[in-house]
Structure 1
């Protein structure tokens, strides 16, 4: 949505459920970079690609050999590929345009969340967060896995394993592991059960910094804002914390390497904690101090100005909205269905939430017409008033007082191919290879329905059906019947013949009595004393002696 149109008094955040999407039982969602396509994972293993502009299904991605529920979906940078993790420990990369599976691999534990590397247009690396085990970096194409350290006691002890190998028995396990890439994917931020955020160089499998969260709660979720400036955490102490990213967006790992060279004299753990203070700075922390709600699926808005999170309570579909300063601005209450996933549209003030029943709800603003907010001289009237114009209000203006014409040269060529930069994106360089929409493919009807339609419209009459009156009359008059009529015309004519009895009687085959009367009429000389109008009526009704108006017999007897 264009920023100048937004009423600043209403707030730039959703307020009500606009509509919902329904297809199977959907459990997880993700927008592409421009917000034009929405991917949804279902419990039957199908990944549905929705065209978010039309709210229609653009593509269905499904592996016939996999019926396990999808646990997470993720788009590549330019939207050509989608990463899917399933409950049967599988990771699959799909080509969205062709609908074909690009790569498939299996890891040891069940993956709850998987994210593609954001720095590549066609990535094969992904960050997988399994249940009750350490996060890992997986190359889906090559099938290799690097387990990332999750505790300070395991520093710099990452092990490279094959994707089909099991996790070592000595590996630290904890519930709901979480991790995410930074904006360009050169660093990984992981959270552990000790209340620590570890910043890891995944290429070297080496911890570069540690940030401690007081008083040491379990970190359940970590997510970056779209521009990479802020980090949001959800912890077991029912608090949400916002950190400011102090590292540069690009080549952050080089900055950390340089920082480590200056801290060589310190102890290893102290050096990492000191480096952590140079990486993240706590900005705000907030919670529901009254109800002490546990949060679920927190995330930033597209511009990073708002923070949203869903209530993890059963039977509640509530979405809380804060500004970045930590002030609660809105509580959205939906149906009495638990919320399991949440996403904010990258551009527009829209929120998409998934309920436990598998429906996807779309929250939008409730816009009200308030023209005075945009035109200060506009006056709203409670009822109609008679307007009295000024004497010279509609007079023709002289040529000297006309408004000067625009200086735009109409002969200049218009560029309709280049896409202008969108200020709503932090990286506003629009790639020509980016996939924003999928081509529309006509979907044919089911074969049974086609046969039924064709049979009812254009099937030739059988022994149980009477011959068409139109074809009989055409045969008697020496004209060829029009057998090339289209099925819709045939259906319309058939329906008209059943409903309009009067019209059919006038086109029906004359009876023997009618033919005899016509023959007698041709033999008798015309009677000039009879009015022409009455004679024409006699001819009209004599051709149809079966008419039930009771007048035909009188005129026929007069002849």
Structure 2
């Protein structure tokens, strides 16, 4: 599908389930930057890479040390590496091209989400969000971890605050915290359990700005759009909020330093809030005012024009799509299976969802054929109509009335090397080193040799069949049809092998006597030529090839 020719009147969002992918029990998914490869983490610890163009498996990454379910997968910027987090507290970095494991480390807690640094082509730095501790920066080369602060009071300690849940006797001491890198990875945005967004310099481990969220609910998800201009948060108050990023995509730390100097009159939390008001601005809020449902796996479309989220209700596979203005434009209803993960294709209006049963559903547009879009003079008919041709419709057109051909200078050089930037990508910094496809290794075909009679469905029976006429024949006939065996074996009724060798001349004569009548034909009184055909004796169920019969019958 070509993005430039998409009909804008039909909308750029999916509508129906096109097909589904099945391989084990898949739990989480992620597209590479161009949308040509889809990675899926499975419950048995494996990671499957699908070629999204052909819907075939291009690579399977499997670690013998890991048999736990995969919790998240993340591609590097150029697609050469994949970071996989598993329920056994491990983080594994893979080389996609060779299918080899680069690094594997084990954390103190299970990472619900892990993201590679987006500013490096071969990253070893990642951001991990554990189940019951603060987010941390992990160096996969050395195994060192640096815990990030989750509140202003933890700026110097980096220790997570205790949970303020009133059911603290049965709840874990810490609520899971969401975090993500910005577009180029110089800042980390952390959403905490107090309903605050912290902007952190992860190199110096310091909170540079704070943005409070109305309601103060726990932030469950925090996601940037691909172009880095918008930030999405999903809170426990069942509301999805979109913030506009006021900082530049690059050199954000320098701007924060400048903002810090302009608010010297303030101090402490008020100073951080003043800086945060110049970093993020609330743009839209999305919620279902009727059902008040919780949301799961919200994200942006590839161009940032659409916002998508799944229903967190059990037994429902519903996907809600809003435009950036805040209007609900579509509700996609899938099978009666809970939804656990979502991803929007980076280029095309395609959504991929994962169900609780482990299937991956591909949602695409239901395109309507519009032939008049390709030929303006083409007329579409609802029903058949009788066509009456014009009188001059097939007259020859004079040369002078022909449309003049466009003047084309055939001497101009045509550039077939330079790759134009695709406007469909929000980040069009295409690199020649980027991995878009994996080489396919064909599997050799297995040839099965079967002995069959052409033109007949009859099969050779075992020679130990008690009712066989040949078993009653004896002598040379019995020896011709039986496999080489002793008479003792014949008496005891042992198992015989099926006939595989060519009958003897005497056997053919006896068989010809049996098939004498079927071979008589009214063609000048002689046996007609029957090449590569078979004649079946109805009495003995034996295949006799007519080419082997040399006698003539009248």
TM superposition score category, shorter chain reference: 0.7 to 0.9
The residue number in structure 2 matching 1:104 is 104
Distance in 2 between residues matched to 1:376 and 1:507, nearest whole Å: 65
Tell me the equivalent position of 1:533: none
Q: How many residues align?
A: 477
The 5 A counterparts of 1:448-487 are: 450=446, 453-454=448-449, 464=497, 466=499, 469=502
- Cα 1:408–1:503 change in 2 (3 A) is farther
Quote how far apart the aligned CAs of 1:225 are: 0.7
Task: Tell me which residue corresponds to 1:506.
Answer: 546
Partner of 1:26: 26
Q: Distance in 1 between matches of 2:206 and 2:2?
A: 44
**Residue 265 and residue 168 in structure 1: after superposition, are their counterparts in 2 closer, same or farther (change >3 A)?**
closer
TM-aligned CA distance change 1:189 to 1:456, over 3 Å? farther
Distance 1:374 1:259 in 2: 54
Instruction: Give deviations 1:182-204, integer Å, cap 9, x for gaps.
Output: 01110000000000000001111
The whole-number CA distance in structure 1 between the counterparts of 2:158 and 2:313 is: 37
Residues of 2 paired with 1:110 and 1:92: CA distance? 13
1:301 match: 301
Q: Does 1:344 align with 2:352?
A: no
Counterpart in the other structure of 2:260:
260
Measure the CA separation in 2 of the matches of 1:33 and 1:499: 64
Map 1:72-471 onto structure 2 (within 5 A): 72-158=72-158, 174-372=174-372, 378-410=378-410, 415-444=415-444, 450=446, 453-454=448-449, 464=497, 466=499, 469=502
Could you report, residue by residue, the CA deviation over 1:370-417 in whole angstroms, capped at 9, with x for unpaired residues?
345666654432222232333333333333333233334456565555
| 1:37 corresponding residue in structure 2 | 37
Distance in 1 between the 2:409 and 2:373 partners? 34
- CA 1:456–1:406 in structure 2 vs 1: closer, same or farther (change >3 Å)? farther
CA shift in 2, pair 1:194/1:394, >3 Å: same
Segment of structure 1 superposing worse, 287-296 or 137-146? 137-146
Quickly say closer, same or farther: Cα 1:499–1:31, change in 2 above 3 A. farther
1:453 aligns to what SS in structure 2?
coil
- What residue is the counterpart of 2:521 in the other structure? none
- Give distance in 2, aligned partners of 1:369 and 1:132: 52
Deviation of 1:418 (Å): 3.9
For the residue of structure 1 that corresponds to 2:258, the secondary structure is helix
Instruction: Label 1:472 to 1:108 Cα distance change in 2 as closer, same or farther (>3 A).
Output: farther
Task: Give 3-state SS (helix, strand or coil) of 1:248's partner.
Answer: coil
Give how far 1:466 is off.
Answer: 4.5
Q: How far apart are residue 58 of structure 1 and its match?
A: 0.3
Q: 1:281 to 1:169 in 2, by over 3 A?
A: closer
Match of 2:12 in 1: 12
SS in 1 for 2:8: coil
Q: CA deviation at 1:369?
A: 1.9
Query: What stretches of structure 1 of length at least 5 have no aligned partner?
Result: 160-166, 474-495, 511-542, 546-551, 553-559
**Displacement, 1:253?**
1.2
Residues 102 and 506 of structure 1, relative CA distance in 2, 3 Å threshold: same
Q: Structure 1 residues 381 and 106, CA, compared in 2 at 3 Å: closer, same or farther?
A: same
- Alignment partner, residue 464 of structure 2: none
| d(CA) in 2 for partners of 1:143, 1:10 | 50
Q: Which moved more, 1:309-318 or 1:147-156?
A: 147-156
Distance in 2, matches of 1:241 and 1:169, equals 26
State the Cα RMSD in Å: 2.8
Contact 2:161 2:174 in 1 (8 A): no
Query: Following TM superposition, by how much is the alpha carbon of 1:439 offset from its aligned partner in structure 2, in angstroms?
Result: 0.6
CA contact (8 A) 1:470 1:507 kept: no
Distance 1:291 1:176 in 2: 25
Q: Say whether the 8 Å CA contact 2:162–2:174 is kept in structure 1.
A: no
Residue aligning to 1:487: none
Q: Kindly state the Cα deviation for residue 248 of structure 1 after the two structures are TM-superposed.
A: 0.3
1:162-209 CA-to-partner distances (Å, cap 9, x unmatched) read: xxxxx9999x95322110000111000000000000000111111110
Provide, for residues 290-347 of structure 1, a one-character-per-residue CA deviation record: whole Å limited to 9, x for no partner.
0000000000011111100000000000000000011111111111110000000001
Q: Distance in 2 between matches of 1:504 and 1:416?
A: 65
Return the alpha-carbon distance in structure 2 between the equivalents of residues 370 and 178 of structure 1: 45
Q: Conserved in 2, the CA contact under 8 Å of 1:174 and 1:192? A: no
> Are 1:544 and 2:552 an aligned pair?
yes
Q: How far did residue 30 of structure 1 move?
A: 0.1
TM (normalized to structure 2)? Answer: 0.80
1:533-556, CA deviations, whole angstroms, 9 ceiling, x for partnerless residues?
Answer: xxxxxxxxxx334xxxxxx2xxxx
Three-state SS of the structure 1 residue aligned to 2:269 is: helix
Q: Write 1 or 2 for the structure with the bigger share of helix.
A: 1
